[in-house]
Amino acid sequence: MSKTITISPITRIEGHAKITIVLDEEFNVADARFHVNEFRGFEKFTEGRLLWEMPGITSRICGICPASHLVASAKAGDDILAVEIPETAEKLRRLLTLAQWLQSHALSFFHLSSPDLILGFDSNPATRNVFGLIAEDKEFAQRGIRLRKFGQEVIEILGGRRIHTPWTVPGGVREPLDPAKREQMLKWIPEAKETVKIAIDRLKKIHEKYAKEIPEFGNFKSLYVGLVTEDGGLEYYDGYIRIKDGNDNIIADKLNPKKYYEYFGEAVEPWSYLKFPYYKPLGYPNGIYRVGPLARVNICDFIETPLAEAERKIFKGLGGDVGVVNNSFYYHYARCIEMMFAIEKIEMLLNDPRILDTNIRSQASINRLQGVGCIEAPRGILFHHYHVNRDGVIQKVNLLIATAQNNIPMNRTVRQIASYFIEGKKGKISEGILNRIEAGIRCYDPCLSCSTHAIGQMPLEIRFETLDGKILDVIKR
């Protein structure tokens, strides 16, 4: 009799989701699916609103990465106004984008993934969390909290403390940077660099500890998509789309992000509200691609800051002869490299005297009836595409978010881990194995955007079912 195992909801990712693993009579994995059950309808909701409201509205999609939506939305507005924003405005937006990377990556690495990595996948689930981490290494946990706080403080300094303030607007930004605030931010830099150095050293030891398991942790070839600079460097705010394959070949380069819809299609499946984007020339599902830290560090030729570049070279070595790192476990390493880059680049931007210039906004009215804003959000490349009428009223919206673009790879990762740890092992499935499947998903740090929140705990429930729906077993944490 075939069985279905459902893990619902997945813990320590943003939003609501569950995993179903379908096993045949021999306990071979017949299918594995990462479901997203929350339907948001956000794109429809924004129709009829004014273009200038969009940054403030779209930033409220998500409590984790509001600044990314804020900047992408403002860039779509720039395109519709057909303006080139002042140099200082771009620098300030870059600063905000990097602070968002830092804040979000710190949450992912220190709070969500470190309990698995440091305490161990088979450690007591009651203490495999941030509290267990504090008990194990209080300073490490404190550093993680402070690093996230640094990113959050930069966001608050630039945008104000009120949540989702639309400081970034079409044409530039609303307020220049106060010199005293610049000094306040610069004071964080030495501690932040030290924290990420410690994290990277710790992570390298974890790579040794899990050397046998890592090859089964979402290790497969796919395309990698992200932004690079004109000369091939790591980019996060502007630049061109580059696509590499799983053998380190550049298959497309210098693509204009504003024409994303020509390169990427979006398939749908009846069992998930999350779309399944793919690279059009290869079709669905062969056009599978990964975005986010792993993709960005894989596709770039260099990183412009020294500490991050030194780590990138070590990272590339993990790809061996292939030259590209195809294992999703190394999302964590790539994330740490990007944290270092973000800190170094924030320091560079703050030390640029032009960051204090007060020419920060270009004024214009509607000059185009559609526009695209594209940036690299923490989890990957993000597109905001708006159609407006001549009064600037939104007619149509399309948002292509990073988590959706990693949808096919997440499903493949679940299947690979499940196959390795479950296949043929009849009987009770241990909590540690189930947590490995969840940890496989957490490599991508998916953000399913909590639209509401809950007071109290959300139980983890695993169900064993037959194909006709009969429950064979239920495991709860």
Partner 1 sequence: MKSVLVIGYGNTIHSDDAAGIHAVELISKRHPEFECICVHQLMPELAEAISKRDMVFFVDASAISNHVEVQEIQSSTFSNQSYTHFITPASLIALSLKVYGHKPRKAFIVGIPANRFDFGEEISEETKKEINRCVEIIEDLVNS
**Nearer Cβ to partner 1, position 305 or 449?**
449
As a whole number of angstroms, the distance between CA 291 and CA 285 comes to 16
Reply yes or no: is the peptide bond before residue 285 cis, omega within 30 of 0. yes
CB 336 within 8 A of CB 196: yes
- The least CB distance from residue 313 to partner 1, in Å, is 32
CB 441 within 8 A of CB 112: no
Hunting for tokens 């989702």 — which residue is that? 164
- State how far the alpha carbon of 324 is from the alpha carbons of 85, 192, 362, 410, in Å: 36, 28, 41, 19
461-466 and 272-279 beta bridge pairing: unpaired
Reply yes or no: is the peptide bond before residue 459 cis, omega within 30 of 0. no
- The least CB distance from residue 130 to partner 1, in Å, is 6
**Nearer Cβ to partner 1, position 142 or 358?**
142
- The least CB distance from residue 396 to partner 1, in Å, is 17
**Nearer Cβ to partner 1, position 125 or 239?**
125
- The least CB distance from residue 58 to partner 1, in Å, is 9
CA 336 to chain centre: 13
As a whole number of angstroms, the distance between CA 190 and CA 194 comes to 6
As a whole number of angstroms, the distance between CA 459 and CA 148 comes to 27
446, HSE (Cβ side, Cα atoms, 13 Å): 28
CB 300 within 8 A of CB 332: no
- The least CB distance from residue 398 to partner 1, in Å, is 17
Closest C-alpha to 58, from 318, 386, 284: 386
- The least CB distance from residue 477 to partner 1, in Å, is 8
- The least CB distance from residue 104 to partner 1, in Å, is 11
DSSP character for 444? T
**Nearer Cβ to partner 1, position 138 or 425?**
138
Closest C-alpha to 17, from 394, 246, 273: 273
**Nearer Cβ to partner 1, position 124 or 466?**
124
**Nearer Cβ to partner 1, position 41 or 427?**
41
- State how far the alpha carbon of 376 is from the alpha carbons of 239, 292, 362, 452, in Å: 10, 8, 23, 25
- For residue 466, give the 3-state DSSP assignment: strand
CA 325 to chain centre: 17
**Nearer Cβ to partner 1, position 198 or 251?**
198
Describe the chain by its helix, strand, coil percentages, rounded to 5. Answer: 45, 20, 35
> The tokens of 107 are what?
């949450």
- The least CB distance from residue 288 to partner 1, in Å, is 26
∠ Cα 217 151 257 (to 5°): 65
- The least CB distance from residue 9 to partner 1, in Å, is 9
- The least CB distance from residue 199 to partner 1, in Å, is 16
Binding residues for partner 1, rule: CB under 8 A, are 11-15, 41-42, 45, 57, 60, 62-64, 66, 107, 111-112, 115, 125-131, 134, 138, 141-142, 145-146, 148-149, 152, 161-164, 450-458
**Nearer Cβ to partner 1, position 142 or 256?**
142
DSSP character for 115? I
**Nearer Cβ to partner 1, position 41 or 353?**
41
- The least CB distance from residue 204 to partner 1, in Å, is 24
Which residues does residue 33 pair with via DSSP β-bridges, in sequence order? 20
**Nearer Cβ to partner 1, position 211 or 454?**
454
**Nearer Cβ to partner 1, position 107 or 308?**
107
